Each structure stands twice: as structure tokens, then as C-alpha cells.
């Protein structure tokens, strides 16, 4: 056919069916390009929005690798004339990207220290062998640790602890057994609610802080952030526990033998090694650096200093960091932030914000409710489709252009992007527990929607009653 | 001869494994058992690697290895492999990760010439297609699936012959339903049928279907040629000439106690994509195992 062999037609057909979203986004961008710019939108802003829609389609459909999406964003920014090559390059790198890079490397360094077994022992010694105390302990420790170290690190470290308990309790082979489901969810949801606690809890918090200072709105320090968010984290711990316990009540009320076996296994490791003590000391110094130094030198530089120390003391090999750091994610967030800055500078963010407000005002009637709806509900829903950091990077500039108190709007958006309870793609911790194959897909929704609703209500109450006293 | 057996879970894969290993043993084929795990989102892939590495320090398997271990034990229990040569049972610590989403467990010594256990993650069609293109299998054995379009994707994009183990019952005595017509794929299908019939020592129903009562020269000749092959190979067979819609007639004749064997469609890929094909419709409508020979 047309001089092609059958095989090449087949290969093309296969490619087309697998890449339909790529082709669709390509066609869409061409047709949008030839539509005249709408009133109030500059040609650059118009083209920036084309890039945003292409990026969103490609990220959600996963039809090409993420790093390819990242590179495509940069190429399109230059080719469509949104900015010069040098301009794109300098918006690509920022302290927020330094921070994301640094915290992914810190994660690898910390996970490599073998501290997970010590963590397991610590948790079990506090909780004892009653199942409800173990679940509550898992949620609490995951939430508090992930607020400082980042959710993906804690998720990876807690997973073996939970699986060791599950396997030793004899329920290993049963898919969606309540005991395994509740233990795994207590990690994932614990990490999710924890990630709002400090800027270092998740890359998206730092992206938001970066936008707030880049756009000249204000500087939010590490401690300021905690004042806004930590009370919500602490209240959510019992909320998550009650929802999970109510939804997946396990039949085993005690886990005697599993806990005993875990203790025996962990006890073999002996005392804490000097290396481990040094590793903890370095992390603590990073933590204090975030609190005291970051207003002057930036969160990203502090995180990178920690990586520097781990490497210099040979607590981690560069090969390990290189192998286990998700460079694709770093590229993507760099591009997404660059795109966010272009959205602000070209006026695309403002134009979109105004249109969303005008449209939603007809439905809700009250501007304050509209802003709240976009910052919380739209962010929460998009997070579950896109992953949290990409949502903040793209939606952030629009929300910051909607008026109201920008710092409140920004922090609210960051918190709502942690409501990633519903789908597997939403956050790395959910994917980590999903990869065990022990949870069936429908279970994510079972407890997730309750938590999603309650989190939204809780955030509403806190932002109305508690936050005004901070401003 | 190289055979690929695709399994997915402990709950549903036993019939596939059972019939696949029987065929492999009888044909003395080199066999690979693959478990295709769920696709992992790219945002999280490194975090999952980290978690998996930690699991190893806890002496726990990464997800998917348990499915392979189950498959191994199943083969052991049913005497498909002889464990005396291996010594310590399932060698989970010999998992070799090639870093491209494919990990392999090396097994030494078994009663069939070569057995591999591998683990892949991703979209099942993409992973199988890649595995088959790189390692060149002759036959892919896979269970029936409820997924929409799965049959279409298998027939269209998998380059080897396909055995879809639809509602297979290993206690049942099956016959072969060999569908022949004047299409170029028939010759290969007949050869396959002969090998399978000899291997399992079962009879063949040879069927040729025409839409009206008139059977063309090509069809008659194809049937005669097939009869000659079966006769020479010493296989008992019954010849049927039936009138009706080919797909419906084949499916109805097969019932649930036949293994249908037919050639792949030789229409252009585009036609198949838009119009479907006979083999595809047979797979969709039938209630028994089907082999499509490519």
C-alpha cells in the first residue's frame, strides 16, 4: 500500500494507536495557533496557553515519556516566540528546582542508611501489638516524618515495615484483605497529610513559595509556613485514622506473632552505627538550615548542602544517587515552573483567571467562594489526575492572579494539592503501596472520597477561623 | 521452537500455565513464562525502585516475584520441572534486572530444554510485543481476558502465533477444529494442527465453510490437501463442509470441547483495523481455546 510493506503499515498503525494523544495534541496546537488571539490576551499569552494545553494532555495521557514532555515545553517556548532561548533557560532553573533536585537526592541518601529497621523498632516499641495502635502509629509517624523529609522518602522506608508485619500475620496472599489494606493506606495517607506540614514536605510547597517571591508577592519562611499548615496536619491524623478504621476494620485486633517476628528480625541489626548517627546529624543540620538560613540562601541551596555533606562523608555513593534520582521529574518541574513564569509574564495567567472568575461567578454568585472553589476543589481534582507538583506549577500562577489575599490563596492551593487520595497516579506514595499488588483499585475510592471531602471542609474551617489570626 | 506463556495472577493463570507447559513439553520447546505487572507511573518509578531495594535488605521479594514463585511451584507440583537438579527450590535471589523494565530469574536444569521466568511492567500489549520482537517467539500463550480490545490488539500487533486459552478445562478431552479455506494462511495452520494433534494424540475435525452451497475450487483443494497431510501423519479426522456465516458456523461447531486452529488473516493491517477479521471475530465469539497461526 502506497509503497509501504505490510510490516511498516502495521508498525505505523501500532504507533498511531498508542500515540493518539500525542497526535491529537499536535493537531490541537496547530489549530489553536491559527485562531486569532481573543480580546485581552497578547499573542505571547495565547501561545503560552497552547503550550499549557499540550503539556496537560501529554502528562495525563502518558503517551510519551515525561522527560520528553519537559523538553517539548522548552522547545515550544522558544519556537513559538514566547521567550528567547536564554530567557527560557534562566526561567528553567530556580531555587525551587534546586530544592526538588536536592530533596530527591537527600531521599536516596537517607534511604541508603538502613535506618528503616530502626524506624520499625521505634514505631513498634511505642505502639505495642494492638492493631489499632499500630495503624494510628503508622499514620502519625508517616505524617510527622514526611512533613520534614518528604513523602516519597518516608513512603519507601515505611513500606517494608508494613509488608513485614503483613507477611508475618499470614495474610500475605489475600488481595485486599482488610489488614493489609489498612496498614498500607495508613502509610500512604499519613504521608499525604504530612506533606503539607513544612515547605520541605513536598516539592510543590517550594514551587508555590518560589512563585510568591518571584511574582513579588511576599516571602514565606519555613516557620511561617508551619504556622499556617501544622495545625491542620495534627487534626488530620485522627481524622485519617477514624476514616480508615471505619472503612477497613480488620478482623485481627492483635498482631502478637507478627510484631514478635518483626522485633526478632530488627534486633539482629544491633546498635546504631556511627555512620547512621552522622547521617541523622546531617539531616538535622539541613533541617535547622531550612529554618534559620533559608530566608537568606534559599531552601534549595540548603538541601544541596545536605547532599554535599552526604557525598563528602561517603555516606552515599554518587552512583546510587545517579541511579535512583528521578531526573525526568526534575526536568519536568523545571519546565513546568518556566511555563508558569511565562504564564504570569505574558498575561496568560491573568486572562485565564479572569475568565474562570467571570464564568464561575454566574454559578456561585460570590467572588470569595469562587476563589476558594478554584484554589481548593479544582486543585484537589487536578492533583488526582496530574500529580500534585505539576498541578501547582501550572495552576499556581492562575490562582495567584485571581485576587484575594495571595499568600492565603497560595498556601491553600499547596495544601489542596496534597488531597491526592483518589487515584494511583496522584502521588508517589500511593503508587508505592499500589505496586505491592495487595490493594485492589476500587479500594482507593472507598476511603479516599470521604477523606477528600473531610479535608476540604477542614481546610475551609481552618482558613476561616484560624488563619485570620496569623495575618 | 520458542514459546512465550503470559500469566497475570495466581487466581486465574493455572489453566494457561497448564496447557502451555503441556504443549511446550510435547513439542520440546524452549519456554519463557512472563508476568506483566501493572504499569508504573513515571513520576513514581524511582521511588518504587528505592522501596524495592529496601525490601531486598529486609529479605522480602519485590512485587511480581511471588507470581513467578507460584508459577514455579505449580510446575514443580505438576512435574513439569525436575527440582532434583536445582536443589533449593525457587531461586528468587537470581533475579537479574536488565534495567529496561525486564527482569529475569535464571533457572538451571529442568526437564524441558530451556525455561525462563521473567518479569515485566507496563502495558501488556506493548510489553508482549517488545518481548516477542526482541526474543523471537513462535507461539504466545495467553489466557482469555475481559479487557475490551484485548483480542483485537493481540491478533493485530502480536507477531507470533497466538494461543488464547479461553475457558480451558484440563480434565476435559478436547478435539481439534481445524478451519481451512483458500486463504494463504491455511497451509501453516494445518502444519500446526498436525503437530498439536500428534503431541496430544487427539482427533481433528476438518471444517470448510461457505456462505452459499457452492464450494470454490480453492476451498476444495485446500481441504483435500489438508486431508492428505493428516492422513500421512496418521491422525484420525472427520471432514465437514458446512454452509453459513463462517464465524458463526466455526464457533457453533466448536462448542466448548474443541481447540479451534485457524490461519491468521492476510488482509492488510488497515482493513483489519477498521473492519475486523474472521480470526478476531472467532476469538470474540467462541467459548473454547483458539490458536491463530501466523
Residue the block writes with cell 537470581: B94
Residue owning grid cell 508505592: A432
B105 and B188 part of one domain: no
- Spatial CA neighbour of A123 closest among A139, A140, A142, A137: A137
**Beta-bridge partner residues of B259:** B176
Q: From A104, which residue of chain B is nearest by alpha-carbon distance?
A: B47
Q: Which residue of B has its CA nearest to A168?
A: B60
**Residues A289-309: what's their mean pLDDT?**
93
Asked, for residue A26, whether it belongs to a domain, the answer is: no
Task: From chain A, pick out residues whose CB is under 8 angstroms from the CB of B55.
Answer: 159-160, 163
Q: Is the pLDDT confidence value at B91 over 90?
A: no
Note whether A13 contacts B269, CB cutoff 8 Å: yes
User: Same domain for B54 and B135?
Assistant: yes
Residue A155's nearest CA partner among B51, B161, B245 is B51
Given pLDDT bands bounded at 50, 70 and 90, which one contains residue A67?
Answer: very high
User: What is the CA angle B174-B222-B271, rounded to 5?
Assistant: 85
Count CB-CB contacts under 10 A for residue A348: 27
A5 inside 8 A of chain B by CB: no
Provide CB contacts within 8 A for A338, sequence distance 6+.
A73, A74, A77, A88, A91, A92
User: What region, left, alpha or beta, does residue B4 occupy, with left being phi > 0 and alpha being psi -120 to 50 degrees?
Assistant: beta
Do the domain assignments include residue A163?
A: yes
Residue A214 CA to residue A94 CA, distance in Å, equals 10
Q: Is residue A13, in this structure, part of any structural domain at all?
A: no
pLDDT tens-digit series, residues A343-352: 999 999 999 9
Q: Which residues of A touch B57 (CB under 8 A)?
A: 114, 116, 160
Please compute, for residue B81, the number of CA atoms within 13 A of its CA located in the half-sphere on the CB side: 24
Q: Which residues are paired to B140 by β-bridges?
A: B4, B162
B170 domain-assigned: no
Question: In A, which residues are within 8 Å of B7 by CB distance?
Answer: none
| Strand order, beta sheet including B290-293 | B95-97, B102-106, B115-121, B30-37, B2-7, B139-143, B161-165, B290-293, B258-263, B175-179, B204-210, B237-243
pLDDT at A125 over 60: yes
Q: Is B25 exposed, middle or buried (0-12, 13-18, 19+ CB in 10 A)?
A: middle
What pLDDT digit, counting tens, does each position of A2-32 carry?
Answer: 567 777 888 888 888 889 999 999 999 999 9
| Domain-located, residue A99 | yes
Q: Look at residue B109 and tell me whether its pLDDT is greater than 70.
A: no
Residue B182, C-beta contacts closer than 8 angstroms, at least 6 positions apart: B216, B218, B219, B221, B222
Asked whether B212 and B243 are in contact (CB, 8 A), the reply is: yes
Same domain (yes/no): B182, B159: no
Is B277 or A175 the better-scoring residue by pLDDT? B277
State which of B165, B195, B212 marks the end of a domain.
B165
Asked whether residue B218 is domain-assigned, the answer is yes
What are the E-state strand segments in A318-407?
none
Tell me, what's the pLDDT at A172?
Answer: 54
Same domain as B211, residue B237: yes
- Report the pLDDT value the prediction gives residue B181, as an integer from 0 to 100: 85
pLDDT band at B49 (very low <50, low <70, confident <90, very high): confident
Residues in chain A with CB shorter than 8 Å from the CB of B126 are 18
Q: CB of A167 within 8 Å of any CB in chain B?
A: yes
B89 and B208 in a single domain? The answer is no
B130 close contact with A: CB closer than 8 A: no
C-alpha cell at B211: 456462505
Question: The complex's ipTM?
Answer: 0.86
Note whether B157 and B179 are same-domain residues.
no
Do residues B112 and B24 both lie within one domain?
A: yes
Q: How many domains does chain A have?
A: 1
Of B91, B122, B127, B125, which Cα lies nearest the Cα of B107? B91
Q: Give the closest residue to A103 by CA, choosing from A339, A342, A389, A337.
A: A389
Residue A33 domain-assigned? Answer: no
Residue B116: CATH number of its domain: 3.40.50.620
pLDDT in the model for residue A307: 96
Can you spell out the DSSP letters for A198-255?
A: SGGG-HHHHHHHHHHHHTTS----HHHHHHHHHHHHHHHHHHHHHHHHHHS--S--B-
Q: How many domains does chain B have?
A: 2
Q: Are residues B40 and B141 in the same domain?
A: yes
Q: State whether B111 and B146 are in the same domain.
A: yes
Question: Searching chain B, which residue's CA lies closest to the CA of residue A61?
Answer: B41
Spatial separation of the C-alpha atoms in residues B79 and B73, rounded to whole Å: 10
Any idea what the CATH number is for the domain that residue B197 is in?
3.40.50.12370
- Element (H or E) spanning A345, and its range? helix A327-345
**CB-nearest partner of A111 from B41, B45, B50:** B50
- Its domain, for residue B8, covers 2-165
On whether both B92 and B32 belong to a single domain, the answer is yes
Nearest to B143 by CA among B282, B293, B8: B8
The CA-CA-CA angle for residues A317, A320, A322, to 5°, reads: 105
Q: Are B286 and B143 in a shared domain?
A: no
Q: How many C-beta atoms lie closer than 10 Å to residue A85's C-beta?
A: 12
The pLDDT of residue A85: 95
B222 domain residue, yes or no: yes
**Closest CA–CA distance from residue A40 to any residue of chain B (Å):** 36
Q: Which CA distances in Å does B232 have to A85, A218, B205, B207, B237? A: 74, 89, 16, 18, 12
Per-residue pLDDT band for A299 (boundaries 50, 70, 90) equals very high
End position of a domain, from candidates B139, B165, B191: B165
CB contact under 8 A, A431 and B48: yes
Burial A101-124 (b: 16+ CB within 10 A, else e): bbbbbbbbbbbbbbbbbbbbbebb
- The H or E element that residue A393 is part of is helix A388-400
Q: Is the pLDDT of residue B170 over 80?
A: no
With 0-12 CB in 10 A as exposed, 13-18 as middle and 19+ as buried, what is A29?
middle
**Final residue before a domain boundary, out of B110, B134, B165:** B165
Please state, in angstroms and rounded to a whole number, the distance separating the CA atoms of residues A68 and A71.
Answer: 5
- What is the per-residue pLDDT across A144-173, written as a single tens digit (0 to 9) for each? 999 999 888 899 999 999 988 888 887 655
- By residue range, what is the domain housing residue A143? 46-469
Indicate whether A88 belongs to any domain: yes
- Asked, for residue B288, whether it belongs to a domain, the answer is yes
Residue B47: its chain A contacts at CB < 8 A?
Answer: 107, 152, 155-156, 326, 428-429, 431-432
Res B111 pLDDT > 70: no
CA atoms of B36 and B123, how far apart (whole Å): 8
Give the cell for residue A186. 495508613
Q: What is the pLDDT of residues B182-195, one digit of tens each?
A: 888 888 899 989 98
Label residue B89 by pLDDT band (50, 70, 90).
Answer: low
Pair (B15, B89) in one structural domain: yes
pLDDT band at A304 (very low <50, low <70, confident <90, very high): very high
Amino acid at each position: 500500500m502506497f509503497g509501504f510493506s505490510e510490516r511498516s503499515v502495521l508498525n505505523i498503525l501500532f504507533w498511531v494507536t498508542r500515540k493518539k494523544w500525542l497526535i491529537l495534541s499536535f493537531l490541537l496546537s496547530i489549530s489553536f495557533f491559527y485562531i486569532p488571539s481573543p480580546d485581552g490576551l497578547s499573542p505571547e499569552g495565547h501561545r503560552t496557553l497552547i503550550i499549557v494545553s499540550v503539556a496537560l494532555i501529554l502528562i495525563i495521557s502518558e503517551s510519551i515519556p515525561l522527560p520528553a514532555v519537559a523538553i517539548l515545553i522548552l522547545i515550544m517556548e522558544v519556537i513559538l516566540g514566547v521567550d528567547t532561548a536564554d530567557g527560557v533557560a534562566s526561567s528553567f532553573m530556580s531555587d525551587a528546582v534546586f530544592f526538588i533536585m536536592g530533596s530527591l537526592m537527600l531521599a536516596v541518601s537517607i534511604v541508603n542508611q538502613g535506618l528503616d529497621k530502626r524506624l520499625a523498632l521505634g514505631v513498634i516499641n511505642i505502639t505495642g501489638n494492638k492493631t489499632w495502635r499500630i495503624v494510628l502509629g503508622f499514620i502519625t509517624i508517616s505524617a510527622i516524618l514526611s512533613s520534614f523529609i518528604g513523602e516519597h522518602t518516608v513512603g519507601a522506608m515505611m513500606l517494608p515495615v508494613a509488608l513485614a508485619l503483613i507477611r508475618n500475620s499470614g495474610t500475605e496472599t489475600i488481595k485486599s484483605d482488610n489488614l493489609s489494606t489498612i496498614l498500607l493506606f495508613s502509610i500512604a495517607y499519613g504521608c499525604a497529610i504530612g506533606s503539607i506540614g513544612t515547605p520541605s514536605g513536598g516539592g510543590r510547597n517550594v514551587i508555590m513559595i518560589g512563585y510568591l517571591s518571584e511574582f513579588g508577592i511576599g516571602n514565606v519562611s519555613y516557620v511561617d509556613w508551619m504556622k499556617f499548615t501544622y495545625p491542620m496536619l495534627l487534626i488530620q491524623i485522627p481524622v485519617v485514622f477514624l476514616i480508615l478504621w471505619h472503612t477497613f476494620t480488620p478482623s485481627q485486633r492483635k498482631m502478637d506473632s507478627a510484631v514478635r517476628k518483626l522485633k526478632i528480625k530488627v534486633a539482629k541489626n544491633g546498635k546504631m552505627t556511627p555512620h547512621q548517627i552522622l547521617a541523622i546529624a546531617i539531616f538535622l543540620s539541613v533541617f535547622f538550615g531550612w529554618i534559620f538560613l533559608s530566608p537568606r540562601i534559599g531552601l534549595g541551596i540548603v538541601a544541596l548542602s545536605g547532599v554535599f555533606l552526604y557525598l563528602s562523608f561517603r555516606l552515599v555513593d554518587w552512583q546510587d544517587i545517579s541511579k535512583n534520582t528521578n531526573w525526568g521529574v526534575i526536568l519536568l518541574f523545571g519546565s513546568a515552573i518556566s511555563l508558569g513564569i511565562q504564564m504570569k509574564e505574558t498575561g496568560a495567567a491573568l486572562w485565564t483567571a479572569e475568565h474562570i472568575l467571570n464564568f464561575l461567578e454566574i454559578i456561585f454568585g460570590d467572588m470569595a467562594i469562587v476563589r476558594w472553589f478554584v484554589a481548593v476543589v479544582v486543585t484537589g481534582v487536578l492533583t488526582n489526575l496530574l500529580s500534585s507538583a505539576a498541578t501547582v506549577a501550572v495552576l499556581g500562577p492562575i490562582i495567584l492572579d485571581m485576587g484575594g489575599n495571595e499568600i492565603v490563596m497560595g498556601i491553600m492551593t499547596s495544601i489542596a494539592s496534597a488531597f491526592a487520595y483518589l487515584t494511583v497516579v496522584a502521588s508517589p506514595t500511593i503508587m508505592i503501596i499500589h505496586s505491592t499488588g495487595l490493594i485492589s483499585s476500587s479500594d482507593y475510592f472507598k476511603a479516599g472520597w470521604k477523606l477528600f471531602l473531610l479535608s476540604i471542609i477542614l481546610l475551609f474551617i481552618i482558613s476561616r477561623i484560624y488563619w485570620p489570626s496569623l495575618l | 521452537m520458542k514459546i512465550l506463556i503470559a500469566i497475570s495472577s495466581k487466581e486465574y493463570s493455572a489453566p494457561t500455565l497448564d496447557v502451555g507447559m503441556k504443549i511446550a513439553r510435547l513439542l520440546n520447546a524452549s519456554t519463557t513464562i512472563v508476568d506483566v505487572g501493572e504499569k508504573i507511573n513515571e513520576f513514581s518509578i524511582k521511588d518504587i525502585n528505592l522501596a524495592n531495594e529496601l525490601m531486598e535488605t529486609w529479605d522480602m521479594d519485590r512485587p511480581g516475584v511471588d507470581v513467578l514463585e507460584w508459577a514455579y511451584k505449580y510446575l514443580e507440583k505438576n512435574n513439569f520441572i525436575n527440582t532434583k537438579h536445582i536443589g533449593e527450590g525457587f531461586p528468587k535471589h537470581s533475579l537479574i534486572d536488565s534495567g529496561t523494565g525486564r527482569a529475569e530469574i535464571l533457572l538451571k536444569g529442568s526437564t524441558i530444554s530451556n525455561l525462563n521466568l521473567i518479569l515485566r511492567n507496563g502495558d501488556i500489549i506493548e510489553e508482549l510485543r517488545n518481548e516477542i520482537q526482541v526474543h523471537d517467539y513462535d507461539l504466545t500463550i495467553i489466557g482469555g481476558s475481559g479487557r475490551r480490545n484485548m483480542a483485537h490488539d493481540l491478533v493485530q500487533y502480536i507477531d507470533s502465533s497466538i494461543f488464547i486459552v479461553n475457558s480451558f478445562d484440563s480434565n476435559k478431552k478436547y478435539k481439534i477444529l481445524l478451519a481451512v479455506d483458500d486463504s494463504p494462511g491455511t497451509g501453516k495452520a494445518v502444519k500446526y494442527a498436525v503437530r498439536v494433534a500428534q503431541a496430544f494424540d487427539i482427533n481433528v475435525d476438518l471444517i470448510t465453510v461457505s456462505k452459499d452451497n457452492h464450494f470454490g475450487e480453492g476451498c476444495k483443494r485446500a481441504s483435500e490437501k489438508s486431508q492428505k497431510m493428516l492422513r500421512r501423519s496418521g491422525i484420525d479426522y472427520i471432514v465437514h463442509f458446512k454452509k453459513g456465516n463462517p464465524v458463526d458456523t466455526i464457533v457453533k461447531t466448536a462448542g466448548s470441547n474443541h481447540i479451534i486452529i485457524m490461519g491468521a488473516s492476510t488482509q492488510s493491517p488497515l482493513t483489519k483495523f477498521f473492519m475486523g477479521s474472521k480470526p478476531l471475530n472467532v476469538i470474540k465469539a467462541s467459548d473454547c481455546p483458539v490458536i491463530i497461526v501466523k
